[in-house]
Amino acid sequence: MVSGSATVSLDSEPGPAQSRLTMDFGINLATSADSWKVVKRAEELGYRRAWFYDTQLLNADMFVAMGAAAVQTSTIRLATGVLIPSNRIAPVAASALASLNALAPGRIDFGISTGFTARRTMGLGPVKLDDMAEYVRVVQGLLAGDTLEWTFEAKQRKIRFLSPDIGVVNVADPIPLHVSALGPRGRKLTAHLGAGWIYATGHVDTAKAAVADMHAAWRAAGIDPATRVATAFTGGCVLREGEAFDSPRARAQAGPHATIALHNLVEVEEFGDMGRRLPPALAPLLERYRQIYEKYEPADARYLSNHRGHLMFLRPEEQLAKAAGARVLGTVSSDTKARPVREHGADAVINYATAKFADEVLRLADGRGPTSSSTRSASPRSTRGCAASLPSATSSSTAAPGEGEWLHGADGDPEFSGQDARERGPLLRAHARGPAPAAHRQDLPPCRGRRRPPLSRVPPVDREADPAAGRAIDAR
């Protein structure tokens, strides 16, 4: 699988009097053996750089993929994004970079960090900053053609490239250094090394403060910030015209980036904090994910499950109500309200002012009735809303928990119909297994909105085909 996200870089270009800042765009790749196909297309579209993840237990080998991209492209820069020091000894990394430089002269970038995913997937915290600095010293010294002292297996040795003159590697063209630095100590080291800077950002104000701190660090080291490349890593999805923000495609592409914070925060006590926080309003989401995390096995290696799919795909348990095929059903009182409800996550919308609610529910559920419902005040300007789960045409009494559920949102209230209804999904699914799903009726009271046709108007389900749904109707 190939997954990507955007990078935005500020580069300096020489001008008549002083450096001129330019902004360009790149892509991040969850490295696969055929990532060159995406990189080649990115080059055709004018992207400046392609950054390759160095996450050995999740992705293909970074340098193999970069080598393939090097021979398939001619202008785009190829960058380790980012290389993790513990993944290979410094001389091996230097050789790999110099080999790439022979295939794509002057188009290679050396990005490095102390490690997040590559280390966490092995149950490890980040590399120490001092160790990373030493690693950079050795790699850069070798790339400069120097003979230098290197400590390995508790002994210092002299090392250098022995045959660069015959063209097996390229140490003539420069390979710029970029350091991923999320905190002030890392940014100070970045400036000390005279390196470009990489910053993973998800919030504009936080990013602005980090940029200001990085500029101050560069200036303190006697470096003009305009002479260095600053790269912002961010994830998301460019929506098509008219596409909903949570369309299946958008969720598949942007969702894996949104869950990074959850993967990090449930492991803070064990591995440290990479710094990505959640807005206070999403604190309940973290606690819900923590409950999922604490059930992962084996208990002494929960990181194996926690990081599966990291930055590539959403695991079923990360997709909340839609994890098992649930769909959001919105109800509105006018056609003008239908579009915003669809845009905010509803897969289908019923205008109950013009359509027979019971008939539409049965049509959408292929003749089956609801299995659960709940109400809440959606907003001061809307009527009360319901969250109802219905079996789909393909569901049966032997289906997986929650499979084929429908969630019914509030009238014309996009926030509730799209977001809050989905947040109730795990509760609905949790009670969908076993012979008595009616046990949670106290948590999900029946709909009482005056402008809502009562659910009692929905005809009974086929009790022989779906006895669990029948019992849920009886309990209501």
pLDDT at 155 over 80: yes
Specify whether the CB–CB gap between 289 and 323 falls below 8 A.
no
Nearest residue to 28 via CA among 193, 194, 174, 201: 201
Q: Write down the pLDDT at residue 114.
A: 96
pLDDT at 269 over 80: yes
Phi, psi (degrees; rounded to nearest 5) at 149: -85, 135
Q: Write down the pLDDT at residue 278.
A: 79
Please give the share of the chain, as a percent, with pLDDT higher than 70.
67
Range with the poorest average pLDDT among 125-139, 281-295, 389-403? 389-403
Segment 366-423, tens digit of pLDDT: 655 544 433 333 332 332 233 333 333 332 222 222 333 333 333 333 322 333 333 3
Report the distance separating Cα 112 and Cα 177, nearest Å: 8
100: burial class by Cβ within 10 Å (0-12, 13-18, 19+)?
Answer: buried
Where do the CATH 3.20.20.30 domains begin and end in the chain? 4-234
- Residue 470's pLDDT band, with cuts at 50, 70 and 90, is low
Q: Dihedral angle at the C-alpha atoms of 203, 204, 205, 209, nearest 10 degrees?
A: 100
Counts for the chain of helices (H) and strands (E), in that order = 18, 15
pLDDT at 326 over 80: no
Question: Which of the following CATH numbers is that of domain 4-234: 3.10.180.10, 3.90.1150.10, 3.40.50.1820, 3.20.20.30?
Answer: 3.20.20.30
Mean pLDDT estimate for the chain: 76
Phi, psi (degrees; rounded to nearest 5) at 436: -135, 70
DSSP-assigned letters across all residues of 310-345: TTT---GGGGGGGGGT-EEEEEESSGGGHHHHHHTT
Specify whether the CB–CB gap between 230 and 283 falls below 8 A.
no
Nearest residue to 221 via CA among 244, 184, 189, 259: 189
| pLDDT, greater one: 86 or 380 | 86
Report the distance separating Cα 457 and Cα 215, nearest Å: 65
Segment 329-361, tens digit of pLDDT: 677 778 887 777 665 556 677 787 776 666 776
Report the distance separating Cα 218 and Cα 220, nearest Å: 5
For residue 473, CA distances in Å to 15, 86, 372, 463 come to 74, 58, 8, 10
pLDDT at 426 over 80: no
- Residue 90's pLDDT band, with cuts at 50, 70 and 90, is very high
Nearest residue to 458 via CA among 353, 352, 332, 377: 352
pLDDT at 206 over 70: yes
Mean predicted confidence (pLDDT) in 58-74 = 98
pLDDT at 443 over 90: no
Specify whether the CB–CB gap between 475 and 371 falls below 8 A.
no
Mean predicted confidence (pLDDT) in 47-72 = 97
Mean predicted confidence (pLDDT) in 84-112 = 98
Range with the poorest average pLDDT among 133-137, 223-227, 361-365, 410-414? 410-414
Q: Write down the pLDDT at residue 307.
A: 95
pLDDT at 65 over 90: yes
pLDDT at 187 over 70: yes
Report the distance separating Cα 244 and Cα 84, nearest Å: 37
Phi, psi (degrees; rounded to nearest 5) at 110: -105, 95
Q: Write down the pLDDT at residue 272.
A: 87
pTM exceeds 0.85 for this model: no
Q: Write down the pLDDT at residue 149.
A: 97
| pLDDT, greater one: 204 or 148 | 148
Q: Write down the pLDDT at residue 347.
A: 66
